[in-house]
Amino acid sequence: MEKIKKDMPTGDSFASSCNACKQCTPLGACIAFKGIEGVLPMLHGSQGCATYIRRYLISHYREPVDIASSNFSEETTIFGGNRNFNTGIDNIISQYQPKVVAIASTCLSETIGEDVPKLINEYKAINADKPEVPEMIFASTPSYNGTHAEGFFNAILAAVKTLAESGEKTGSHINLISSLVSPEDIRHLKEILEDFGLEAMLFPDYSDTLDNTSWDSYTRIPDGGTPISQLKASGSARATVELGFIKNSGGMNGKIKDNYLVQSAGQFLKDKFDVPCFETGLPVGINETDKFLEIMSSLSGNPVPEKYKRQRGRLVDLYIDGHKYLSGKKTVIFGEEDMVVALAAFASEIGIKPVLCATGGESGKLRETLTKLLGPMYDEETIIGQGMSFDRMDEVMQQIKPDLMIGNSKGYYIARKMDIPIVRCGFPIHDRIGAQHFRMLGYEGATTFFSQIVNTLLEDKQRKSPVGYKYM
């Protein structure tokens, strides 16, 4: 049997990767961009990238997603894309009349060295007399330099960098910068802010734009998103609360930093506008939700509402009901780095052992973050896989023989091969409906998620029982 190292190698040791445990970087940027009011995302690159990303997002959110493209051809690749860029923006303005065009680069435009900020400046200069020219945001998102999670956070940083303005900190508003969670969980974060009486900008807010009602006729730019006025006011907020710990990884193991994310939006607001930043994990499970609500309580000056105390109490009661079905089970956890951290913390809290924590991200910070967050609950035997592919996960899992997988639907083939259950969460979920309504945040999210995990294991046991049973 091959000896498994506790820290699986990152990209250094592999010439290629089969079935990577990540998605393309501008895809993550497009999700974050969809959280801006009146936006149209645009990719500077070839048509295929936009088509793939649209297809991928639609299959997860089950919502129409328009993404424009500057449509590179062979000629553009050789001579540069400024003509296509200008025509593309002209077409977007005439067809969509957006408030914001949010541009992400692709592998091709980055490889040929397109200077998109310069293209934006030139476009604005040529069209200086046209009031209809929208705000323009640019995020550098070469896919060979990160994952969709890094694209997501880089887009958030780009939006804040472009729009935030300085101002007197006389207001009471705060900024809540979210992570890659479902539209339903974003709605829950908004509910918490409201319940604490906090005036806040929640960004990115795609709770409506990627999970809308059914329409009688097609709406090219759906309502919803974080208002531009709030993004502008983020520089004069009292504080920023940022969810997640590994958002500013700087790309591949922190080695490639040029023109890439090395700072989070919260850190930028702190450095540039002196807005204090509180970093906390995704509030999944009791421990992390307690910490999040404590921050909300201290910022608002209000106690935790009775409603949340009741929810917490019910969740503790549910843990007692279900712990005997989970105790000692071994799980594989995979997905974006911050999602893996949150899931590992939750698994440890409910008595499941995370035996492999795998991600396509290559921050090099996963073990350190887990050790810090889990404290005495952290198990030194846990295998940490950064820069991992599903093929490599498969090889490792054949040896460690887990009982369960928790992560996105791309793990399905391994689960099927090993005949173990998979609890789907995160992004993408392409073989089930309702991903946009998935709940994991807060006490109520943990309640739903906990029951889902227990019932998945029970169903698996029942299915494999030679005699069957209907009472336990």
Eight-state DSSP code of residue 305 = P
| Pick 107 or 198: Cβ nearer ligand SF4 | 107
Q: Is 435 in the site for ligand SF4 (CB under 6 A)?
A: no
Token readout for 395 is: 């090889």
Q: Is 49 in the site for ligand SF4 (CB under 6 A)?
A: yes
DSSP, residue by residue, 400-435: H--SEEEE-GGGHHHHHHHT--EEE-SS---SSS-G
Q: How far is the CB of 244 from ligand SF4 (least distance, A)?
A: 22
CA–CA separation, 356 and 390 (whole Å): 12
Q: Is the peptide bond before 204 cis (omega within 30 degrees of 0)?
A: yes
Tell me which of 24, 296, 315, 366 binds ligand SF4, using CB under 6 A: 24
| Pick 142 or 224: Cβ nearer ligand SF4 | 142
Q: Is 106 in the site for ligand SF4 (CB under 6 A)?
A: yes
| Pick 29 or 275: Cβ nearer ligand SF4 | 29
CA–CA separation, 424 and 439 (whole Å): 11
| Pick 52 or 278: Cβ nearer ligand SF4 | 52
Using only the alpha carbons of the chain, give its radius of gyration. Answer: 22
Token readout for 5 is: 């190292």
Tell me which of 107, 180, 299, 425 binds ligand SF4, using CB under 6 A: 107
At residue 53, φ and ψ (nearest 5 deg) are -65, -45
Q: How far is the CB of 177 from ligand SF4 (least distance, A)?
A: 24
x-or-dash string of contact with ligand SF4, 264-283, rule CB under 6 A:
--------------------
x-or-dash string of contact with ligand SF4, 209-238, rule CB under 6 A:
------------------------------
Q: In what order do the strands lie in the sheet with 39-44?
A: 68-69, 39-44, 100-105, 135-139
The SS3 of residue 356 is: strand
Q: How far is the CB of 240 from ligand SF4 (least distance, A)?
A: 29
| Pick 147 or 236: Cβ nearer ligand SF4 | 147
Q: How far is the CB of 237 from ligand SF4 (least distance, A)?
A: 33
Q: Write down the residue that tokens 């006025």 correspond to.
A: 229
Q: How far is the CB of 144 from ligand SF4 (least distance, A)?
A: 7
x-or-dash string of contact with ligand SF4, 110-149, rule CB under 6 A:
---------------------------------x------
Q: Is 26 in the site for ligand SF4 (CB under 6 A)?
A: yes
CA–CA separation, 362 and 340 (whole Å): 13
Q: Which amino acid is at 34?
A: K
| Pick 52 or 96: Cβ nearer ligand SF4 | 52
CA–CA separation, 148 and 143 (whole Å): 8
The SS3 of residue 175 is: strand
CA–CA separation, 410 and 347 (whole Å): 20
Token readout for 132 is: 């209809």
Q: How far is the CB of 303 from ligand SF4 (least distance, A)?
A: 47
- Interaction site with ligand SF4 (CB under 6 A): 24, 26, 49, 52, 106-107, 143
